Chain A
Amino acid sequence: MLDCREVLRELETYLDDDTAAEVKKDLEEHLGHCRHCRVVMDSTKHTLKIIADCHTFDLPESLSDRIMHSVRAAEKGQG
């Protein structure tokens, strides 16, 4: 049987669906009776869904133009 600290250590692989079958079984058994670990697991899942879905840190519009302007200028300078 896993304790809370071990469950926390396995959380990352569990969230990535990368946990070995026997560990997964122990982990889910623990989650079935430990409310704290269940809250941490569920809310971390929600956290990942939120950050994956909300398209943060939009690119500045002019970035690629600025890069290519400098690239062309460097090319002219070299040539």
Chain B
Amino acid sequence: MKPMSSIANPIQQDRQGQDRDVDASLVERVQGGDTEAYAELVRRHEKRVYRTLMGITGVREDAEDGAHNAFLKAYLHLKYFQGASRFSTWLLRIAINEGLERLRRRKQTISIDEEVEGEEESYKPREFRDWRDNPEQVYTKDELRSLVEKEVMKLPVKYRVVVMLRDLEEQSTEETATALGLEISTVKTRLLRGRLMLREALAPYFLREKEKTHA
């Protein structure tokens, strides 16, 4: 299992520092007129941007068009980027705004900034049957991927986007909070709830044989 600590360990910090240096140097080259250096920035960040937009819009076409527009906007505004924040954070924020704009156009008024009182208190797990010891070995990788994609997409957007950034993209809690413009405590609450909802949705596929008859 990959480390999921919200506090970056020294190796992660080192990797993050190196990533930041590489991005900063590529940004400088693009700002100096080297358009092709932008292709490397796209390669380094397209997956995260695309997945974030999948998390927000829930639609592949919107995620693809949104990622295209976000990278283009970032390129056109790169001359104003002065490095006060990390390039990845700045880019992700552009992508998130692009995703929210797409939701608005679809007349979906859900806001990921919205605070809901008692969000944490109102959720209680209902599934208490035992899972198999090695649930991931029950299905092929393709079957698992399709199953997880289907159930992640069923999560409400505010939980889905947090789960995708934290658990699929392995961003820290702090990075997720910064990118989404949320308090760290809100990210933690939504992450817990999103994880529990996903657990509940996946449970029927991974129960022990004897448990299935006790539905």
B-side interface residues, number (CB < 8 Å)? 56
Contact of A57 among B3, B128, B168, B202 (CB under 8 A): B168
Query: A residues 38-58 with Cβ under 8 Å of B?
Result: 39-40, 42-57
Let me know if A31 is at the binding interface, CB within 8 A.
Answer: no
Let me know if B148 is at the binding interface, CB within 8 A.
Answer: yes
Q: Determine whether the beta carbon of A57 is less than 8 Å from that of B50.
A: yes
Contact of B72 among A17, A39, A43, A70 (CB under 8 A): A70
0/1 string, B146-188, CB within 8 A of A gives 1: 0011001000000000010001101001000000000000001
Query: B residues 114-153 with Cβ under 8 Å of A?
Result: 120, 124-125, 127-131, 135-136, 141, 144-145, 148-149, 152
Which positions in A face B, CB cutoff 8 Å?
Answer: 8-9, 11-13, 15-18, 35-36, 39-40, 42-57, 59-60, 63-64, 66-68, 70-72, 74-75
**A–B pairs, 26, beta carbons within 8 Å:** A12-B192, A35-B128, A39-B127, A39-B128, A39-B129, A43-B206, A44-B195, A44-B199, A46-B136, A47-B195, A47-B199, A48-B4, A49-B136, A50-B135, A50-B144, A50-B202, A52-B167, A52-B170, A54-B141, A55-B145, A56-B145, A57-B51, A60-B64, A63-B64, A64-B39, A67-B71
